[in-house]
């Protein structure tokens, strides 16, 4: 009887399949301050979609055409605050599209709209910018906070600060997804605040006169 049970158990085990080890691509290794690394499953990482030019922003830029006949593109200092990842709920990484570093992302988004609106030529010279803050809050009401300083020769620097609010779902999984989904709207809001700042037009006119 004992031998029969043993044979039955062996036969049952033979029908089981051991799942293969997950591939390395199924995980992200996140480097934290202090030299500590955290391994996060890929399905718990969040990557925003690419930024598409905003019709509202481009309509505003087209209205500046006669006021700034030769404005410049924007060049962000990628040596400053050009990280590519933020942690949501202290555990889940949030990336820009294709894990593009954030200062590079802001530069690309601004120049995309400036060129697509017909206001600026793709090979135009550039005014300088530095990304001072690029962060979010996912507790209570969600917020994307983006601040940057712009400099053009012969003019004082000016700073643009933008806070874009959005609803956040309960729970880390859905809440962090809301953060990711709100990033393009946060960028759009910042860029509109930049374009509508009188100092922006002043800088563009100064650039055109140089």
Q: What is the domain count for the chain?
A: 1
pLDDT, tens digit, 9 for 90 and up, residues 19-67: 333 333 466 655 555 666 555 555 457 788 889 999 999 999 999 988 8
Identify whether 17 is part of a domain: no
Identify whether 28 is part of a domain: no
Q: State how far the Cα of 40 lies from the Cα of 51, in Å rounded to an integer.
A: 25
* Residues 186-206: b if buried by 16+ CB within 10 A, e if exposed: bbbbbbbbbbeeebbeebbbb
Identify whether 75 is part of a domain: yes
Q: State how far the Cα of 102 lies from the Cα of 129, in Å rounded to an integer.
A: 13
Residue 78: CATH number of its domain: 3.40.50
Identify whether 16 is part of a domain: no
Q: What pLDDT sits at residue 142? A: 95
Q: What pLDDT sits at residue 2? A: 44
3-state SS assignment for residue 49: coil
Identify whether 36 is part of a domain: no
Q: Which domain holds residue 95?
A: 46-209
pLDDT, tens digit, 9 for 90 and up, residues 62-100: 999 888 876 889 999 988 878 999 998 877 889 899 989
* Between 73 and 172, residue with greater pLDDT: 73
pTM tops 0.85: no
Q: What pLDDT sits at residue 18? A: 32
């Amino acid at each position: 009887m004992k031998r029969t049970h043993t044979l039955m158990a062996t036969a049952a085990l033979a029908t089981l399949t051991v799942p293969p080890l997950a591939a390395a691509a199924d995980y992200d290794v996140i480097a934290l301050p202090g030299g500590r690394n955290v391994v996060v499953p890929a399905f718990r990482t969040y990557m925003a979609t690419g930024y598409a030019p905003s019709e509202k922003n481009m309509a505003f830029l087209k209205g500046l055409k006669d006021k700034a006949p030769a404005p410049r593109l924007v060049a962000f200092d990628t040596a400053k605050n050009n990280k590519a990842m933020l942690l949501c709920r202290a555990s889940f990484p949030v990336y820009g599209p294709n894990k593009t570093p954030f200062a590079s992302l802001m530069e690309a988004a601004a120049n995309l709209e400036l060129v697509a609106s017909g206001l600026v030529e793709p090979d135009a010279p550039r005014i300088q910018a530095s990304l001072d803050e690029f962060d979010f809050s996912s507790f209570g009401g969600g917020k994307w906070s983006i601040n940057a300083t712009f400099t053009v020769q012969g003019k004082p620097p000016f700073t643009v600060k933008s806070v874009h609010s959005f609803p956040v779902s309960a729970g880390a999984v859905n809440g962090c997804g809301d953060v990711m989904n709100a990033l393009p709207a946060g960028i759009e809001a910042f860029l509109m605040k930049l374009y509508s700042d009188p100092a922006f037009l002043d800088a563009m006119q100064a650039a055109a006169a140089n």
